[in-house]
Structure 1
Amino acid sequence: MTRLYEYQIYGVNTLFELDDQQRIRLLHLSSAPLPEAEDISEQRKHASVLVELQLTGFNQPGHKGTRLSNTMPGAALTFQHIEQQEDRLSITQTYTKACSLTVTTHIQFFPGIRIVNVWNEVTNTGTEPFGIEYISSLHIVGVNSTGSSLPYTANHLYLPHNSWTGENQWQKYSLPELGLLYALDGEKLQDSTKVISVSNHSSWSCSQFAPIGILENDYTGMTSFWQLESNGAWHWELSDAALGKELALRLSGPTELHNHWWKKLQAGASFSTIPVAFGAIPGSWQEAVWELTRYRRAIRRPNEDNRYLPIIFNDYMNCLSGDPTTEKELPLIDAAATAGCEYFVIDCGWYSDGYWWDNVGEWQPSEQRFPGGLIEVIQYIKSKGMIAGLWLEIEVMGINSKLAASLPDDWFFMRHGKRIIDHSRYHLDFRNPQVRDYATSVIHRLVQEYGIGYIKMDYNITTGIGTDQYSDSMGDGLLEHNRAYLQWLDDIFAAYPELVIENCGSGGMRHDYQMLARHSIQSITDQTEYVRNGAIAAACAANVTPEQAAIWSYPLREGDREEVIFNMVNTMLLRIHQSGHLSELTEDRLLLVKQAIDVYKDIRSYIPMGRPVWLTGIPLIDDEWFSFGIETADRLYLAVWRTHSLNDHFSASCSAQSIQSVAQLYPNPAEDENTSYHVHGNTIHFNFKQNKMARLYEIDTSYNEAR
């Protein structure tokens, strides 16, 4: 006799079925209405185990290829109970045959947000250890299924490719384009061996892809989406299931097969998977991003930085490039203050007399660079009404650092008895309490002695697959380090709640939401070419909330009016990371920088409450024209870019029934002879007379009936 468990919490509908063998199955997790259980095939029910768990030495019955399905004892777990605590469900299962364990699945719901956060906790309740090769954070069969007879190949998958200086490049694929075909063998009716999988293998959590996926069904109108929350290794995969008739999604942290992770769970010990976010809504990929934006704001550490969005000047990009001195900094500080910046950050190089890459680690200021002391420059920044900041890379030490040479090996990541060296640096192991104490002492010194209010925390190397020192596997060492680093960050923010710490990993190589649930600001890219920087900026709010997304603006020494405007528009709907040799700009070009910052100060309060919109699609890095907007209840701020195009015209259609008015915010339209626009219905038609141009508009949509 089967039993159903139905839950409708904050707009998310969940259906479980308990069969006569006390096996619980997850049949529905979506904001779509609950289906009738009898309309779901027995094959799908059988495949819909709540947790996939593979232990070493256990069979994997019915296994097909490298997919992480049909696991044991995952398929043999026995249901014990389900508990609801206001906004959380906890489902407990046990296994007591070849070993003894308990698995508890936690599903967290959020008011007003159609997303759940899910993780599993496994506890060894026996007397002997066992080895975990894989455990899912979330397993769903029938993704985007609505009871339709359409095959799952009707879905399209959006993947966010990531690369240094080429971040946030979303591509749309059909499932057959990625090799997943529907019901290959209709006579035998079995699952295929094909898996669409995305993995991250190192401590750059976004080295190849952001840990996000969006699956849109063009026929049913359903979109499922997910976000894996790990500051290191992770894995997700799509495959067919239920005898080749359904689509299955598995989200997890590191695995033995893909990430060199294996965990020996001792008697009485517990292990928790990484948390993952999942939602399924009637709507498009853009509506999925809106839901993710609300969710990211909800899980983020409350902070003033994301409310006020102060303007940061940083001396690195297309400026001092890691070669700061007192002589160079003072005129930049003057120019940044004149332009209206509110923070001034001295980037890398302040701690070394010359070449510094391979000797970092002590974080003491260079007397040669700052003859009057670094404090003199910091006090000058403060005298100009700005908060001072410094660059750090706290997780590394250079191979030529005298301090690193004096320290024992257990301070560092190790493999096969040797310190791991990546790009002439060692990687510190934050599992070691002495490492954490040292890192804390550096932060205390910078804040208490130097009066620093901002730290750019960079991260330019990776650990590779992990460390085998004091760990069950290399991947396990990496995961434990990552979790220790997060705890250290929590302790720092508890000690200094007003301190702003920027998350940077060679730009955007670590923009996951373990880091961004803590950091208020994220460096999006190190792209030095301002035209390409615009496309990265226009896409990044799909991955990071706009009020956390820091984009460089770096007017060139030998540039023109349009180059300054393009640079500034890149930043004006996100977070301004101002740079460039402002003190060497002509007066009229510096005035354009100040004009943009003044406009930004007028509109920045709308960014944390707005939602990102792409009226003309999410751009790729070399698109000829593109746009990006922030939409609130009654207005739309829209940036429009032309890069290299033979076409002077570009059109964008709004969701409003009718546009009440359009105003150019930047640059001052009274001084602009190169652009024009006109409105027809809900479409705005733009004319830009030349390449490499950008403009910012305010559109009144107060009669938008859809809102």
Structure 2
Amino acid sequence: MTAAVGTLERSCLWSHPGLGLHAVLDATGSVRLGAPDQDWAGLVPLVEVTATGHGRLWSGERFIETAIGDRLTYRDHETVREGGGERTTIRLADPETGLVAEVVLETAPGAGFLRSRVRLVNEGSTPLRLESVSTLTVGGITDVGGGLDGLTLHWADNDWLAECRWRKAPFRDQVVPLSRPAHGHEGRGCFERSSQGSWSTGRHLPMGALTDFTGRAWLWQIESSAGWRFETGEREGAAYVALFGPDDAHHQWQHTLAPGEDFHTVPAVLVRGETGGLDAAFGELTDYRRLIRRDHPDHRALPVIYNDYMNTLMGDPTTDKLLPLVEAAGTAGAEVFVIDAGWYDDDAQGWWDAVGAWQPARGRFPGGIQEVLDAIRGHGMVPGLWLEPEVVGVRSPLAATLPPEAFFRRGGVRVTEHGRHHLDLRHPAARAHLDAVVDRLVGEWGVGYLKLDYNINIGSGTENGPESPGAGLLGHHRAHLDWMSALLDRHPGLVLENCGSGGLRMDYAQLAVTQLQSTSDQQDLLRYPPIAAAAATAVAPEQAAVWAYPQPDHTPDRIAFTLTGALLGRIHLSGFLDGMNDEQFELVRSAIRVYKDIRPEIAGARPFWPLGLPDWEDGWIAHGLRGRDATLVAVWRRERAGAPESRTLTLTHLRGVEARPEVLQPTTAGVTVEWDAAEGKLTVGLPRADTAVLLRLAATA
């Protein structure tokens, strides 16, 4: 396709009608990606690069309008179709530096996503010191009327105990109109979000979105555990989005590209939808996440997991404490039993700053830890253990026996954070140590589940020789992903849970390899619902581990409340089940039976939010899964001033469908339900505050 616009002829190199995106080449050789009907000036160069000596053409906070990006010109492109997918590679070259950019765009016919990666190659004669590289840039985004006033911006704050808190604001509240004709330039600022240090989601999720009032949506995700940033702003009356991995300004990342060397950016994905708003876009993103992750039987089996930590043993396991919990968990229906932190603790000064060897504590297990592992297997469950592989306590013998180069260092000094050193898994000694640990736990002890935790933010990274800290962090995390993949190659049945003090490293670099994600360390069951309901924005439902910790001193409503919140994800059961009376224990068993009945529907279902994404203090919260044969909806009512006893939920996809609402869990909350098929509205009544219900709706014959 070619088009003459003014005096310049432009041609389309790549297009995806379903996404409404085209990669367009103009007569100067510049390539830009965006909507086909947008003005060329509103688009952004396909790749933006800053390097020392080659900055931006318009100085400010934006990482677009770079000198190299402006100079990059088309060399060639090719499209390969295989396995139902499509991969287009567009090659660009900078005549001044000899830098070549290979942009790889991946999608599939009929799919609603575009995944991008960039490979930079130095074909010049001198080294080039990179300071930022875009993975994906898209321009020409407007509301349905062709302006920006109808756009809404969405982003997610994230914190320990307060994960997945989505925010929204009119685009014009964040990117104000500046009267460009009066100044002859765009503004210098933008709306941006970025990570800080080694907790990739310690401040925000690596995601954002733009929507308009007609239901159109642009949703993006950056797949990095080692630094990421996105920005959106205005360019010639349209919005643009630029997605990055680590950079110099935010992550102390620089990468010297010598002649002949190459560098690969982290991947990123854009989801585009014409209708359905954020719910439809998150559905497309969920499908995409299932497509890119490593295949594993856990994604289909969804076993029930009991973990002894949360509100229970809290890092103090012993044989005497564990054996009654093992029996109770097995009787309740758990299929995996995880011994969490503390199983290695045999130190009078505590275990936090002494970890690293990962040997069982003799004082905790007089008959050996195998006695407990055998008991777990004897009750029909797979044994699991907690592990924090990337750290070594400052008092651990390994801190002295492993070579200095095996640890994170800055300025030649070993980094210490909260009583721990940090391993650099690029070093063979660090990797050999962890391989030996896991092969012992899995190969010799028969452990089938590892909860891999990560409880420190080590900062900007590590300097290995002349490298920058951010480059060291990226190198380590790529080695970390490779190490986990190799574990699963050697032990195909092993299940890996990704945990970073709950959800502080909740990104799809990790989740494309690991099978589960801990969603939070939140111990207050009344604070968990907004996290549990929004978790599917960050994680595919069958990977989202949600705590359910019923206790003997809980009322039936409290027991049902904490159990119901986990039923649309992965149950992380905990609590002193062994101390419950028969009535309480049956409530637990009943919820587990419900979960086992519905879990075949979870693995292929798309999430939606009939009351919108939850706010932290909402009294009513709802989260649903739209499956092939039925719709599942979890509804919470929390004690809030003015909160009514009933709420009406809109289930747009069931409008006009005669359906029968069925109360799955619990059956004792006094819930009332009423379905209006013509309007697609479900009215749910919960007469008591701090109660919850799980409903199933299926079309009647």
SS in 1 for 2:33: strand
1:653 match: 650
Partner of 1:31: none
Partners of 1:468 and 1:143 in 2: CA distance: 40
In 2 relative to 1, CA 124–234 (structure 1 residues): closer, same or farther, beyond 3 Å? same
Of 551, 565, 573 in structure 2, the residue corresponding to residue 578 of structure 1 is: 573
> Structure 2: which 5+ residue stretches go unaligned?
1-7
Q: Which residue of 1 aligns with 2:4?
A: none
- 1:359 is paired with a residue whose SS is coil
Greater mean deviation of Cα atoms: 682-691 or 262-271: 682-691
Alignment of 1:47-66 (within 5 A): 47-61=43-57, 63-66=58-61
**Match status 1:2 vs 2:2:** no
Map residues 161-310 of structure 1 onto 2, 5 A cutoff: 161-178=157-174, 180-218=175-213, 221-242=215-236, 245-283=237-275, 284-310=277-303
- Kindly report which structure 2 residues correspond to 1:287-686, keeping only aligned pairs within 5 A, or say none: 287-354=280-347, 355-645=350-640, 646=642, 647-655=644-652, 656=654, 657-667=656-666, 669=667, 672=668, 674-681=670-677, 682-686=680-684
Contact 1:77 1:95 in 2 (8 A): yes
Q: Is the 8 A contact 2:139 2:241 kept in 1?
A: yes
Find 1:157's aligned residue among 119, 130, 153.
Answer: 153
Residues 45-88 of structure 1: CA distance to partner in whole angstroms, max 9, x if unpaired?
A: xx521111112112532x14121122122111121111111111
What is the CA distance between 1:246 and its match in structure 2?
Answer: 1.9
Alignment partner for residue 119 of structure 2, among 112, 121, 130?
Answer: 121
| Contact kept in structure 2, 1:2 and 1:17, CA below 8 Å | no
Per the TM alignment, residue 10 of structure 1 is displaced from its structure 2 partner at its CA by 8.2
Does 1:93 find its partner at 2:92? yes
Q: Distance in 1 between matches of 2:432 and 2:311?
A: 35
Which piece of structure 1 moves more, 539-548 or 12-21? 12-21
Distance change in 2, residues 1:680/1:308 (3 Å): same
- Deviation of residue 95 (structure 1)? 1.8
| Cross-structure match for 1:25 | 32
Q: What SS does the aligned partner of 1:603 have? A: helix
1:6, distance to aligned residue in structure 2 (A)? 4.9
CA contact (8 A) 1:160 1:210 kept: yes
Which whole-Å deviations, capped at 9, do the CAs of 1:82-117 have from their partners, x for residues lacking one?
A: 1111111111111232x2221111101135421011
1:172–1:60 Cα change, 3 Å: closer
Q: How far apart are 1:620 and its partner, in Å? A: 2.2
Contact 2:143-2:149 at 8 Å conserved across structures: no
Q: Which amino acid aligns with 1:134?
A: S
Could you report, residue by residue, the CA deviation over 1:325-358 in whole angstroms, capped at 9, with x for unpaired residues? 0000000000001100000000010011242111
Look up the match of 2:23: 16
* Aligned residues of 1:64 and 1:191 also touching (Cα < 8 A): no
Pairwise CA distance, 1:145: 5.9
Residues 471 and 350 (structure 1 numbering): CA distance in 2 closer, same or farther, change over 3 Å? farther
Give CA deviations for 1:556-588 in whole Å, capped at 9, x if unaligned: 231111111001101111110000011011211
Aligned mates of 1:78, 1:653 — CA distance in 2: 49
Whichever residue aligns with residue 18 of structure 1, its letter is: L
Query: RMSD of the TM alignment (CA)?
Result: 1.7
CA gap 1:92/1:398 in 2 versus in 1, 3 angstroms:
same
Q: Percent of pairs identical after alignment?
A: 36
Change (3 A) 1:132 1:602: same
1:496 to partner: Cα distance: 1.0
Structure 1 contact 471–477 (Cα < 8 Å) conserved: no
3-state SS of paired residue (2:112): strand
For 1:144 and 1:339, the matched residues in 2 are separated by: 53
Residue 141 of structure 2 corresponds to residue 143 of structure 1? yes
The one-character-per-residue Cα deviations of 1:203-224 (angstroms, maximum 9, x if unpaired) are 1110011101111022x54211
The TM-score with structure 1 as length reference comes to 0.94
2:308 counterpart letter in structure 1: D
Q: Which runs of 5+ in 1 are unaligned?
A: 29-33
Residue type of the alignment partner of 2:92: Q
Structure 2 residue matching 1:324: 3-state secondary structure = coil
Partner of residue 41, structure 1: 39
What is the aligned length?
681
**Residues 214 and 288 in structure 1, CA contact (< 8 A), matched pair in contact too:** no
Of residues 450-459 and 88-97 in structure 1, the stretch that sits farther from structure 2 once superposed is 88-97
- 1:407 and 1:375 map into 2 onto residues whose CA distance is 28
Q: Give the CA deviation at 1:166.
A: 0.5
TM-score calculated relative to the size of structure 2: 0.94
Cα deviation, residue 494, structure 1: 0.9
Change (3 A) 1:64 1:145: farther
**Cα 1:6/1:129, change in 2 over 3 Å:** closer
**Cα distance change on mapping 1:128 and 1:680 into 2, 3 Å:** closer
| Residue pair 2:71, 2:95 contacting (<8 A) in 1 also | no
Distance in 1, matches of 2:669 and 2:394, equals 55
